[in-house]
Structure 1
Amino acid sequence: MYEDLIDSADLPTARKSVLPGTGFFLPDDLEEDLEDEQTKAALEGAEVAVVADADADGLACVALLREAYDDVRNVPEPDTGEDEVDADAETADDAHEENLALAAGEADDPLAEPEPTPHGVALIPASPHNVEDALARVAEYGDEGIDLFVCDLCPDRYEYVDEELDAALETAERVSWYDHHQWGDDVAQAVRDAGVDLVVGDSEEECSADVVYRSLEYDFSPMYEELAAVTRDHDLWLREDPRSDDLADYAYWTDPAEYVEVVREYGVDLPEWVQEFLTERRVEKEALIEQAVGRSEFREIGGYTVGITYGRCSQNEVAETMRERGADASIIVKPAGSASIRGTDEFERCHEVAGQVNGGGHPKAAGCKPDIYDDMLDYAMHWTSRGAVAKQVLLDAFRDVAESADEDEPSDDA
């Protein structure tokens, strides 16, 4: 296949909006080999491994841990602007569907080189759908007696991670798991019974960085307390501090290793060269938002107004626009097959909708990837129909959840 056919960087916005990124078209074996090489390089000589979600919340956890372990600080040089920005990504959010996209191959730079500077606290990026692979790599490539932390990740079922977690426990001196998502009681108990120190925060009050901040026996400077607070502002979609959008966008658009070191050096007030980078990227971001909003439709389901659309875009801003237009909940279907689900004060069961279609998340923000793609012809139909099948599956899931909510409410005769 010609590289030009899968490189969407130079496509017109209208076409880029309906197609997945370059990484989608790479073979799984190639991606797995690259991840093996990157993990092996990161873990060489490391005393601590951190398996973390690669969004702003998960990476803030890494920054906190590197500070607590007095790890070397490796601040990147400011971008001189000599390299052309590859604007082939979408904004991150708090419900992990950006990692569903990464798992599906929408990575902005799927052939990234391993982190060049050795760290005592190694970063191993992961998603909710491949956390078991990251655990297995720590077990294989980590030094005997390494400390292992898992941050901002929640397995849907214990059997998804049981063997890999056992292997990691044999390699690691100790394993700590810090998160804030909706854990099933049986999953949490099984992880604790395996020998893991699991701390799960209130998903409506804390982000994972909050959990790490209060759980570590370390006297952090006020800069790190502020980092956790501003990260929480975006991760819980509070939208009270404009700097939280900067953190979320920068975490998604740059290399995870760079993000960690920049926030360790500058805190939440990102330097001018980062602000210039964000300004450049947001030109296309706004154009992709406009494309998705222009495709939006509204349905009345179970007493709720549901907005639904399709496109590669920043799901939070698109959902917010649909909310302003009357949506109680919003669904954004992505070209790689994943979907974002956003709620409001009127609808707080997004994680239940996602749970019916291979996903999960929070009451007001969730992500999933329906299991409806058997071959490339299904994906071709997905792109040309603007996600018609996925939309119907998600609307059906929403209808089921809405109907179950009606059944749970007591009748007036009770």
Structure 2
Amino acid sequence: MTGFSIDLAADRIVDHRSRAYFVEVSRSFSNDCYRSAIVMLWTVVVCDMVYKLQSLRDLYADAGAGKLLQDVEAKRTVNPNSPDWEIYLLDQVFARTKILEASEHVQLQHLQKLRHLSAHPVLSGADLLFLPTKEDTRAQIRVALGALLLKPPMFSKRIVEALVEDIAANKALLISREKLKAYIEARYLPNIPPAIELEIIRALWKFCFKLDKPETQANRQINLDTLAILCARNPVPVRLMIDSERAVFSNVGPEVEALDALVQFLGEHPELYASLDSAAHILIDGRIDADINNLVRARFKSVDMADHLANLATKTSVMLAKIDDDVWIDLLDAAVNEGHGDEAVRIAVKIYAGSGSYDAADRRFRAYIEPALPRFNLATMRELLEEIDVKPQTYGRGRASFDHSQIRDAATALGLDTTTFKNFTTYI
């Protein structure tokens, strides 16, 4: 139990009523009243289950939670003096919602048995009342907190719909992957059961890569970002799920937007490409061949970054110049991080040198050369200047005096004398 604090955990109990009731548990434990702590702990658990079901019914329109509450009340009404409805509630919460894992259900059943022994005399025993140890009481408190009290109420199938609706409504504020990650981790993911997390991933996969409805089109990017965040949390169980349901997860597309989103996703999670079947591969490969941006993202088709960049370098400058600005920045950053910045920079040089007009050179400098300037070294800077010096559409354009002064400054900082490149120098 090292490192676990009952008091710190108690402050994070989701429902304020359960949090207030738990104070009695904590005080009993602190005062060595372990029997009282166990009895009250079970009471808090029962109350918290009811509160969660009420929240699901009232706040999230969960019909299943409402029906379960009706069934529990009917059970209690039949025999109001019997506590049997409490264990019935526990068993049905496990059976009919996703709040509890199987192991948590068993552990809470054990808590109920300890509560019974602690509260009722056993005439056949040497001691009429059972007295739990400090260690056992602490363990039961920790179980109750982790299995139930620290969890938010949205642990039924409604959580998928609630999460998707929530992030869609707030996407104007969740403007970065970092903000989105912080938001869903704070609001949805604390103590989330693995089964629910996989259920959310399964649903988001369908929304991102299969459905072609107005709402899924409008929210595809934020759903995609959420899916990427969740898959990065526990990649091994995700891959095992996809491997075990290969046909289901391979049923993607055929809409262009859905397949493009899948290529983008696989660029971040390349290991999952092999988990899809050949039918999905055909659709994915078709989109890669049809769009240079998909080809740039499709690192999962290459052995490593060096191989990926070598493949891109074989494409024409006309094709490469169709790479979107943000896609280029992502590629450049990834290449530098993996030790292949020079190869990426040379692609930028090829794009710029291949400009067919002044206007094209203006755009290509801003999009490809300017972001890459901090990444140039002495060798690649020399290659850039050599290309510029023989390409009038680069050195002779109106903006060259401004744009190329940036190159000159970067070259000078590298110790390269730019005056030997006559056309380059003349037009600055």
Do Structure 1 and Structure 2 share a fold, with TM-score over 0.5?
no
Q: TM-score, normalised by structure 2?
A: 0.23
Q: TM-score, normalised by structure 1?
A: 0.24
Question: Which structure's residues are more often helix, by fraction?
Answer: 2
Greater Cα radius of gyration, structure 1 or 2: 2
Question: Which structure's residues are more often strand, by fraction?
Answer: 1
